[in-house]
Structure 1
Amino acid sequence: MKVLFIGPTLPDAARVAPGLDIRPPAIQGDLYRAVRDGAAAIGLVDGGFEYTAPVWHKEILYALSEGVAVFGAASMGALRAAECRAFGMVGVGTIAQAYADGTLVDDADVAQLHAPAELGWVSLTEPLVNILATLQQPDLPASLTPDLCNRIEAAARQLYFKERTWRAIADRVALPDITLRKRLEAELKACARNKKREDALLLVAAMKAHDVGRSHERPDWVFQETTLWRDLVDRENAKLLMF
């Protein structure tokens, strides 16, 4: 079984990732349950982080210690892949690589507001990584000059991630009238690049190509069952007995 935790980054995951066990954005305890359920491979893309306890690094280490292949990309998965790469988690795509090499350092660079699953995970803001990928394209319209792109990037970086929309960015760029700002917004939307989606699709491909079961080789480090870890296991096992 291959388990993929995903939501707003790839709303059509059920269509583009057939054969994978699609689960909603991961929160603390979800990766432990996936291992308990028999997963041989886990893909982490999206995860809760503001109003819920996020995926715990300890869960990833537990999965790896049990021979489960763990892939991360695009969003929360890219962050955890960079943080746990020394232990064997595999980062997929340029966003994960950027966090691994220190080009990206801020968690908020991949964060975005979105609608709930019931409304199709519709994006309400633009993550900074997508904005940067858009501005770095070689075939931008001539009107998007290097100087203007620098001003757009600066405006985007000044915005809190919950306020980072193309309109808000265009409004912060020093243009003389509203007509030019609306034209800029339209141009940016027309050439927008969804880098998070691209990396998520790479992760899906990597998971599909991983056709082996759990590894029988053990890592060169020892998983430590701390008191906090036992607390999590006890909570999750208690939930299991309730159903």
Structure 2
Amino acid sequence: MQGDVRLAVEQGARAIGLIDGAFEYVAPVWHKEILYGLSKGVAVFGAASMGALRAAECHAFGMIGIGEIFAAYASETRVDDADVALLHGPEELGYIAITVPMVNVDATIAGCCTHGLICDREARHLEESARSLFFKARSWNAVVANCSEIASGRANELLRILCHNYVDQKRADAVALIDALRHADAYSPPTHFEFNRTSLWRDD
């Protein structure tokens, strides 16, 4: 949440990895605190979800983006922040994912196409169906049920294919970030900008 990166920097962190964060009921990590860390020579990595978004927004200042999701946002082939959003369970259940984020939908459908499990027409209909659903309602059952162009007999088979060939791109990118952190000493973030201590930062 907001303030966590600043606190880590002030406690002496030399490398920070940002993967995910809440945004609906609490303030997320602030760009300003990332810039603060970079200005202090801290290597700041981002991937997978909130981390990918912030890395795409701050990479010009030295934040290091990791993974496919970051690359898509950085190249602007993906632009909707909501594509990484999902509904999850409480801490007591390990924050288990309840819905499927759009980035994982796209990765799963692409993988199924590559392996010849679904055709291009089905892929297009499934992607359109998934994107039309609010992130809190986007489950594989809902995606397939919302796809009226696909016959009911094939729908059951598609649901099985999607569930059995699920690609968790967010997890893959998060694992890549953790691996990058193990070699964080090799990164030397540039500090070619002057950190501006605005009134909001000073009053924070």
Partner of 1:229: 201
More helix by share: 2
Partner of 1:106: 80
* Shift in Å, 1:118: 1.8
Deviations 1:14-34 (A, max 9, x none): xxxxxxxxxxxxx11110111
- Of stretches 97-106 and 116-125 in structure 1, the one that deviates more from structure 2 is 116-125
Unaligned runs of 5+ in 1: 1-26, 233-243
Q: Does the residue aligned with 2:185 lie in a helix, a strand or coil?
A: coil
Partner of 2:58: 84
Q: Give 2:191's aligned amino acid.
A: P
2:61 and 2:190 in contact (8 A); partners too: no
Alignment of 1:58-77 (within 5 A): 58-77=32-51
Q: Does the residue aligned with 1:42 lie in a helix, a strand or coil?
A: strand
Q: Give 1:169's aligned amino acid.
A: V
* Shift in Å, 1:140: 4.1
* Shift in Å, 1:209: 1.3
Alignment of 1:27-46 (within 5 A): 27-46=1-20
* Shift in Å, 1:185: 1.5
Q: Give 2:203's aligned amino acid.
A: D
TM-score normalized with structure 1 length: 0.79
Partner of 2:126: 152
Q: Which protein, 1 or 2, shows the higher relative CO under an 8 Å CA cutoff with sep ≥ 6?
A: 2
* Shift in Å, 1:115: 1.0
Q: Give 1:229's aligned amino acid.
A: W
Q: Does the residue aligned with 2:194 lie in a helix, a strand or coil?
A: coil
Partner of 1:240: none
- Of stretches 113-122 and 53-62 in structure 1, the one that deviates more from structure 2 is 113-122
Alignment of 1:208-223 (within 5 A): 208-211=182-185, 219-223=191-195
TM-score normalized with structure 2 length: 0.94
1:140 and 1:191 in contact (8 A); partners too: no
Runs of 4+ in 1 over 4 A off after TM superposition: none
1:44 and 1:72 in contact (8 A); partners too: yes
Structure 1 residues 125 and 140: CA distance shift in structure 2, 3 A: farther
Q: Give 1:162's aligned amino acid.
A: K
Structure 1 residues 176 and 38: CA distance shift in structure 2, 3 A: same
Work out the percentage of aligned pairs sharing the same amino acid: 50
- Of stretches 218-227 and 35-44 in structure 1, the one that deviates more from structure 2 is 218-227
Distance in 1 (CA, whole Å) between partners of 2:176 and 2:105 is: 19
Q: Does the residue aligned with 2:20 lie in a helix, a strand or coil?
A: coil
